[in-house]
Amino acid sequence: MSASIEITNVTKHYGALSVLDDISLSIKAGEFVVFLGPSGCGKSTLLRMIAGLEDVTAGTISVADRRVDTLPPGKRGVAMVFQSYALYPHMTVAQNMSFGLENIGLPKPEIERRVSQAAATLEIAHLLDRKPAKLSGGQRQRVAIGRAIVKEPKAFLFDEPLSNLDAALRGRTRLELAQLHARLGSTMIFVTHDQVEAMTLADRIVIMHNRKIEQIGTPMEIYRRPASRFVAGFVGSPAMNFVPLTSVTSNGGTINIGTSGLGDIHAAFHLPSGFSPDGASLGIRAEDVTVLPAGQTGIALKAEVVERLGDRTLIYGHLSDGTKLTAETDGRSEARGGDTLQIALDTTAIHLFDAAGTAHHSEGD
């Protein structure tokens, strides 16, 4: 069972402190949506408001076309999985999973059916008689997810559920969550500050920043066409390169972009008539900066640090004016710190950001 979620003009204040400002968002039934953003952006607060663990200052929240922001948590039809697992240490796995169902007076055969089914789905049936102290971190997280599954909720809410796991276990559990969503087809909202989790799990990502929603889109929409300089710098590893502009002149559908570090660049753009180079910047990702073969002339990049990642090599350096720039090349690169390399840009993959941080994309992107 899954349900749509509608968040309309939601605001949250703690006294004079504003945490969320006029948030509106529609989530489709069965969709996997990730709230992504830096610490303090309000993503966990918004999740907790959907769950009923935080009051709504203004606005409304509906689940399956029923307004729920005035209802207690247990009446909203959602189940939350916490970062800390929150398992009872004196209870077995089976008891932890069944405890909430017993509290609402569900018949014992129905409780046993739900626990058995959830345990099979999560492949923890062999752990039902163990207590949390005898489980690994990944197993505890699966028990916490199982406790949510047995409630048969209309939506699952995950509050940074993988942050307590080591890197290898995070990767495996991330895969398990994706498989779980595929099996259950349930509506899921997942909060994280980790862009890898967001990019690999989400149907759509909601980028949050400074109390507002910065952008909503599929992972590749957000990666390829960021709505703002903040999104461009936050999503992607390494972060997008930004180079200050010195001038912009238009010639029909082509513009000449002046920079002190990259020189003059010609690209297919349709910019708004009032676009000004003052405070504006050019953005380009490292994979769209090509390191030219020896003997070819391009733009000089002085390498400072070379990061070898096996299948690819990242070169962190600076341009002639001192502007920092990162280039990506293949894993066989022999570049070393201190080398002066020649680079070229894919002009179909550049972005321009005005002084306010709003993005403008090339015609080729």
332 lies in the same domain as 306: yes
- Residue 46 covered by a domain: yes
Is residue 190 within 8 Å of residue 148, measured between CB atoms? no
- Residue 235 covered by a domain: no
Mean of per-residue pLDDT scores for the chain: 91
- Under the banding of pLDDT at 50, 70 and 90, the label for residue 364 is low
Is residue 3 within 8 Å of residue 29, measured between CB atoms? yes
Question: What domain range includes position 169?
Answer: 5-225
66 CB-side CA count, 13 A: 9
Instruction: Name the DSSP class of 74.
Output: G
- Residue 186 covered by a domain: yes
Q: How many domains does the chain have?
A: 2
Q: Which among 191, 225, 259 is the end of a domain?
A: 225
Q: Which among 225, 254, 273 is the end of a domain?
A: 225
- Residue 332 covered by a domain: yes
Mean pLDDT confidence for 175-179 = 86
For position 302, which CATH number holds? 2.40.50.140
Using one digit for the tens of pLDDT, what is the confidence trace for 61-72?
Answer: 999 999 999 999
pLDDT at 348 over 80: yes
pLDDT at 87 over 80: yes
Using one digit for the tens of pLDDT, what is the confidence trace for 226-273?
Answer: 999 999 999 999 999 999 999 998 876 788 999 988 999 988 887 888
221 lies in the same domain as 265: no
147 lies in the same domain as 263: no
Phi, psi of 37 (to 5 degrees): 175, 170
Using one digit for the tens of pLDDT, what is the confidence trace for 287-320?
Answer: 999 999 988 999 999 999 999 999 999 999 999 9
Is residue 189 within 8 Å of residue 30, measured between CB atoms? no
For position 59, which CATH number holds? 3.40.50.300
- Residue 233 covered by a domain: no
For the chain, how many residues are written? 365
Percent above pLDDT 70 for the chain: 98
Neighbours of 339 (CB within 10 A): 14
- Residue 196 covered by a domain: yes
- Under the banding of pLDDT at 50, 70 and 90, the label for residue 137 is confident
247 lies in the same domain as 346: yes
Nearest Cα residue to 95 out of 127, 139, 137, 135: 127
Mean pLDDT confidence for 110-120 = 91
Q: Which of 113-117, 272-276, 332-336 has the lowest average pLDDT?
A: 272-276
Is residue 288 within 8 Å of residue 272, measured between CB atoms? no
Q: What is the pLDDT of residue 363?
A: 66
What burial letters (b/e) apply to 38-69, b meaning 16+ CB within 10 Å? eeebbbbbbbbbbbbebebeebebbbbeeebb
DSSP assignment string, 97-166: HHHHHHHTT--HHHHHHHHHHHHHHHT-GGGTT--GGGS-HHHHHHHHHHHHHTT--SEEEEESTTTTS-
